[in-house]
């Protein structure tokens, strides 16, 4: 099967989890014997590369101060690129996120090629409602993709609910396929000397607990609540540091908050991290916290589970579905500093419980959430879309 995957974000261009998802899925599809062309944004990267068997084609985006205009021009460029590669050669067009919905729709109507749309989040969920004209336009694009696609993929049952109730999408049209992870990439080896040297370089002493957050510094990620919870956790565990790996428009506010709460010297902002450094952060942390107030899935949870670091996560969205409370992680109430402090204490204070959680989480990462398993489920959706176009 030859597949065109259309996404505005693909490694090494990374804004959120979309790049991680598309890379993991594309490479797993290739391992399963398929041919995959990724159509994405170029910036200063090569126009074409073959990466781990995946053909990556990049278009140059225009420079424009209006985001929606930029997105529409980008979608048009994607469509032209697919045409130049020979759209008739593809068995299915798989589009990701709202920006690409018009690409899939136009190709479906002009060439009769099956169109699959993946929904990773919704504008209404991200923003807590439709609060501006831009928000309304994005919401409309999401609805259009859900209406036009032959088959839909939601990354969690939570997102499926948002689509079916928010867009009146037929229930049977939406396939829930979770995000994945290559667990062996995060289950790295390292002795105590390497661990403590790495932590010392971050500013974490040998006798200190290292609490980790990985993600964007935006409202929906709930980092403000994590800092408030960490300040309470310090009362019982004063020898602790909070490592924040990520960037976003709230960083200044969060740094100020930490100092106002009296724990500024205990919170370390690293900025955006990926690659081997990120894998070591996961491996050598004592706990990974995901304090989101809105989370369609949460790839960070899978990466931490694979690395063998216990997860403390908000009981929201997709996190509620992948974290089995006190089995493969600990769930806490969203927006609740006391609950976050309790969850951290639960995995830090009881080492027997910690080992139990880590063992179960690793097992789930390898057996339920590998990208190879996710790719096989996705292929079945492609086949259904192809059959629909034949009818």
Look up the domain containing 103 and give its range: 2-180+370-390
pLDDT on residue 297: 86
- 167 & 202 share domain: no
For residue 311, give Cα distances in angstroms to 38, 88, 162, 188, 331: 32, 45, 25, 17, 8
| Contact assessment for residue 299 and residue 20, using Cβ atoms and an 8 Å cutoff | yes
* Mean pLDDT of the 59-75 span: 81
CATH number, residue 334: 3.40.50.2000
C-alpha angle 191/279/250, rounded to 5°?
A: 130
Within this chain, do residues 148 and 78 fall inside the same structural domain, yes or no?
A: yes
Cis peptide before 257 (omega within 30 of 0): no
pLDDT tier for residue 72 given thresholds of 50, 70 and 90: confident
For residues 47 and 150, what is the distance between their CA atoms, to the nearest angstrom? 30
Examine the pLDDT at 235 and tell me if it is beyond 90.
yes
Give the Cα separation of 155 and 157 in Å (integer).
7
Task: Report the range of poorest mean pLDDT among 1-5, 15-19, 52-56, 340-344.
Answer: 15-19
Same domain, 80 and 99: yes
What is the per-residue pLDDT for 343? 98
Query: Does residue 94 carry a pLDDT above 80?
Result: yes
- Same domain? 241 vs 210: yes
Residues 281, 331, single domain; the answer is yes
> In angstroms, rounded to a whole number, what is the distance separating the alpha carbons of residues 138 and 132?
10
pLDDT band at 124; cut points 50, 70, 90: confident
> Residues 316, 295: contact at Cβ < 8 Å?
yes
> Are 67 and 15 in a shared domain?
yes
Task: Clarify whether residues 187 and 100 are in a common domain.
Answer: no
pLDDT tens string 148-202: 999 999 999 999 999 999 899 999 999 999 999 989 889 888 788 899 999 999 9
∠ CA 219-224-228 to the nearest 5 degrees? 160
Alpha-carbon distance of 59 to 81, in angstroms, equals 7
Please give the span between the terminal C-alpha atoms of the chain, in angstroms, as a whole number.
19
Strands 151-154, 92-96: parallel, antiparallel or unpaired by DSSP?
unpaired
What does pTM read for this prediction?
Answer: 0.87
pLDDT band at 24 (very low <50, low <70, confident <90, very high): very high
Distance of CA 332 to the CA centre of its chain: 20
pLDDT confidence of residue 189: 83
* Number of structural domains the chain divides into: 2
DSSP track, 20-76:
HHHHHHHHHHHHTT-EEEEEEE-TTS-SEEEETTEEEEEEPPPP-S-HHHHHHHHHH
Helix axes 223-236 and 337-349, enclosed angle (nearest 10): 50
Residues 303 and 382 both lie in one domain: no
If asked whether residues 312 and 383 sit together in one domain, one would say no
One domain for residues 206 and 70: no
Q: How many CA atoms lie within 13 A of 272 on its CB side?
A: 10
Instruction: Give the pLDDT confidence score for residue 12 in this predicted structure.
Output: 85
What is the per-residue pLDDT for 70?
A: 80
pLDDT in tens, 96-115: 988 899 998 999 999 999 99
Residue 166 shares a structural domain with residue 198: no
| Claim to verify: residue 171 and residue 231 sit in the same structural domain | no
| Tokens matching residue 13 | 């261009």
Q: Over the stretch 278-292, which tens digit does the pLDDT of each residue have? A: 999 999 999 999 999
The pLDDT tens digits of the residues spanning 339-386 come to 999 999 999 999 999 999 999 999 999 999 999 999 999 999 999 999
pLDDT for 68:
82
Q: Taking 90 as the threshold, does the pLDDT of residue 242 lie above it? A: yes
Judge whether residue 14 has pLDDT over 80: no
In whole numbers, what is the pLDDT of the chain averaged over residues? Answer: 93
């Amino acid at each position: 099967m030859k597949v065109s995957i259309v996404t505005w974000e693909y490694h090494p261009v990374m804004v959120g989890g979309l790049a991680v998802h598309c890379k993991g899925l594309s490479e797993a599809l290739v391992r399963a014997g398929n041919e995959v062309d990724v159509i994405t944004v170029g910036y200063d990267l090569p126009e074409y590369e073959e990466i781990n068997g995946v053909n990556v084609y990049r278009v140059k985006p225009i420079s424009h101060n209006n985001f929606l205009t930029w997105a529409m021009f980008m979608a048009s460029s994607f469509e032209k690129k697919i045409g130049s590669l020979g759209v008739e050669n593809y068995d299915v067009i798989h589009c990701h996120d709202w920006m690409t919905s018009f690409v899939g729709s136009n190709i479906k109507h002009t060439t009769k090629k099956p169109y699959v749309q993946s929904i990773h989040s919704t504008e209404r969920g991200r923003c807590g409602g439709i609060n501006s004209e831009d928000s309304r336009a994005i919401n409309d694009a999401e609805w259009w993709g859900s209406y036009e696609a032959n088959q839909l993929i939601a990354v969690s049952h939570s997102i499926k609910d948002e689509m079916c109730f928010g867009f009146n999408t037929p229930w049977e049209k939406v396939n829930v396929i979770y995000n994945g992870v290559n667990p062996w990439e995060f289950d790295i080896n390292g002795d105590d000397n390497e661990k403590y040297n790495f932590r010392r370089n971050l500013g974490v002493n040998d006798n200190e607990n290292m609490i980790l957050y990985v993600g964007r510094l935006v409202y929906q990620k709930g980092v403000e609540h994590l800092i408030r919870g960490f300040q309470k956790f310090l009362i019982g565990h004063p020898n602790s540091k909070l490592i924040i790996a990520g960037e976003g428009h709230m960083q200044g506010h969060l740094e100020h908050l930490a100092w106002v709460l009296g724990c500024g010297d205990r919170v370390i902002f690293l900025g955006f991290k990926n690659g081997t450094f990120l894998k070591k952060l996961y491996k050598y942390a004592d706990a990974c916290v995901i304090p989101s107030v809105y989370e369609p899935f949460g790839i960070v949870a899978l990466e931490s589970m694979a690395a063998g670091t216990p997860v403390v996560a908000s009981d929201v969205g997709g996190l509620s579905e992948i974290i089995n409370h006190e089995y493969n992680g600990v769930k806490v109430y969203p927006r609740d500093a006391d609950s976050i402090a309790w969850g951290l204490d639960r995995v830090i204070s009881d080492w027997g419980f910690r080992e139990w959680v880590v063992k179960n989480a690793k097992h789930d990462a390898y057996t339920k959430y590998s990208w190879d398993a996710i790719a096989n489920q996705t292929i079945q959706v492609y086949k259904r879309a192809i059959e629909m176009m034949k009818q």
